[in-house]
Amino acid sequence: MARTPLIAGNWKMNLNHLEAIALVQKIAFSLPEKYYAKVEVAVLPPFTAIRAVQNVIEGDKLQIKHGAQDVAPHDSGAYTGDISGPMLAKLGCQYVVVGHSERREYHEESDELINKKVKQAIKHGITPILCVGEKLDVREAAGHVAHCNDQLVADLKGLKAEQVAKVVIAYEPVWAIGTGKVATPADAQEVCGALRKQLEEKYGAEVAGSVRVLYGGSVKSGNISDLIAQPDVDGALVGGASLDGEEFTKLSAMA
Ligand code: PEP
């Protein structure tokens, strides 16, 4: 089954709303319309810049998609500081990152919580970009495939096949995030392929064939082509390089 590649820029805790407007305009200006027929491009600003980015995208009828970097596990209520699925949906978010390793590490997010967040996103019509990935010690002990599969199973627990079909998976080895140490195309393929196989075993070939599995970790214009040439790599979640409009546009055009 043909899967449209997705290049999603995770801006992390960078850019105020004015800087975010400038960046999304730069990307829109530099990436000619023709590319959107073959690649989907999304930006994931911090919460405080989503409204501004939405205004630019919707006001100028841009084909870039936008989303968020996290979602609360509840619809509403006394959860100070949290941002809910309905709030994100109202801001036109099509994607939300769930289970990023920085949230697993710095906010001690468990697979149980991540599973609730995945369900919240789906409930409110937002596509979760579910991140899984191993730390260096796990890879060195050759436990990476089992580790990522275990995260996948736990994070998708209780979902029906038709719900899983709506999820995007991102394989993000922790040792490659923000380090400049990119996984080899073969490393990326090994895990992305194993994740798809796991999806097939649990949810059937049709779902597994339609779900996009991204790679993330030090992706740049210099390495995207070889990564995306792998049969089970359907795009990239891009951190650092997504803050540079020229570089992000260049790598999106190469996908
Ligand atoms: C990320 O944080 O999702 C990421 C992939 O970061 P970087 O591209 O900077 O490694």
Reported as a single tens digit per residue, the pLDDT across 134-186 is 999 999 999 999 999 999 999 999 999 999 999 999 999 999 999 989 899 99
The answer to whether 144 is a known catalytic residue is: no
105: left (phi over 0), alpha (psi -120 to 50) or beta: alpha
108: alpha, beta or left? (left if phi > 0; alpha if psi -120 to 50)? left
What residues does ligand 1 touch, defined as CB less than 6 Å away?
10, 172, 177-178, 216-219, 237-241
Which is nearest to 32 in space by CA: 63, 6, 3?
A: 63
Active site residue 124: no
As for the ipTM of the complex, it is: 0.98
Residues 6+ apart with CB under 8 A from 187: 173
Cα 165 to ligand 1 centroid, rounded to whole Å: 24
Domain ranges of the chain: 148-237
Across 92-105, b (16+ Cβ under 10 Å) vs e yields bbebbbbbbbbbbe
48-89 pLDDT per residue, tens: 999 999 999 999 899 999 999 999 999 999 999 999 999 999
What's the gap in Å between 240 CA and the centre of ligand 1? 6
What is the 177 CA–ligand 1 centroid distance (Å)?
5
pTM over 0.95: yes
The answer on whether 11 is annotated among ligand-binding residues is: yes
CATH 3.40.50.80 for domain 148-237, yes or no, is: no
